[in-house]
Amino acid sequence: MRFVFISLLLLFFSSVLQAETGDQHAQAAARGLVGAPAPKLVLKTIDGQTIDLTSYYGKKAVYLKFWATWCVPCREQMPHLKQVYEHAGPDLVVIAVDVGFDDTVEDVRKYRQAMGLKMPIVFDDGSIGEAFHLRVTPQHVVIGRDGRVLFVGHEANAKLDAALLAARTSAASPGTAVAAPDASGHDDPEHVANLVVPTLDGTSFHVDAQHGDGHPTVLVFLSPWCETYFSTSRPALAASCKAMREQVTALSRDGEAHWLGTASGLWAGKDDLLAYQREHHVTMPLALDDSGMLFRRFRVMHVPTLLLIDAQGRVVRRIESVDPKLPDELKALAANQPVSQQN
pTM (2 d.p.): 0.84
- Residues 310, 209: contact at Cβ < 8 Å? yes
Q: Residue 55: pLDDT above 90?
A: yes
What is the spatial distance between Cα 250 and Cα 246, in angstroms, rounded to a whole number? 6
What is the spatial distance between Cα 315 and Cα 74, in angstroms, rounded to a whole number? 35
pLDDT band at 17 (very low <50, low <70, confident <90, very high): very low
Q: Residue 6: pLDDT above 80?
A: no
* Topology of the domain comprising 26-179: Glutaredoxin (3.40.30)
pLDDT band at 339 (very low <50, low <70, confident <90, very high): low
Helices (H) and strands (E) in the chain, counts: 10, 16
- Model confidence pLDDT, tens digit, residues 89-108: 999 999 999 999 999 999 99
Range list of H helices, the chain:
2-30, 72-86, 105-115, 127-131, 158-169, 226-233, 235-251, 270-280, 293-297, 326-334
Res 254: pLDDT: 85
Thinking of the domain 186-334, which architecture would CATH place it in? 3-Layer(aba) Sandwich (3.40)
Return left, alpha or beta for 209; rule: phi > 0 is left, psi -120 to 50 is alpha, else beta.
Answer: left
Res 15: pLDDT: 38
pLDDT band at 24 (very low <50, low <70, confident <90, very high): confident
Task: Please check whether the two domains, 26-179 and 186-334, share a CATH topology.
Answer: yes
Lowest mean pLDDT among 20-34, 158-172, 191-205: 20-34
Q: Residue 189: pLDDT above 80?
A: no
Q: Which 8-state DSSP code applies to residue 319? A: E
pLDDT band at 210 (very low <50, low <70, confident <90, very high): low
Q: Residue 19: pLDDT above 70?
A: no
Contact partners, residue 139, CB within 8 Å, separation at least 6: 25, 26, 29, 65, 66, 132, 152, 153, 154
The partner residues of 318 in beta bridges, in order of sequence, read: 307
Contact partners, residue 9, CB within 8 Å, separation at least 6: none
Please compute the mean of the pLDDT values over residues 27-50 and round it to a whole number: 94
Res 30: pLDDT: 87
Domain boundaries, the chain: 26-179, 186-334
pLDDT band at 32 (very low <50, low <70, confident <90, very high): confident
What is the spatial distance between Cα 106 and Cα 95, in angstroms, rounded to a whole number? 18
- Model confidence pLDDT, tens digit, residues 317-338: 999 989 999 999 999 988 876 6
What is the chain's length?
Answer: 343
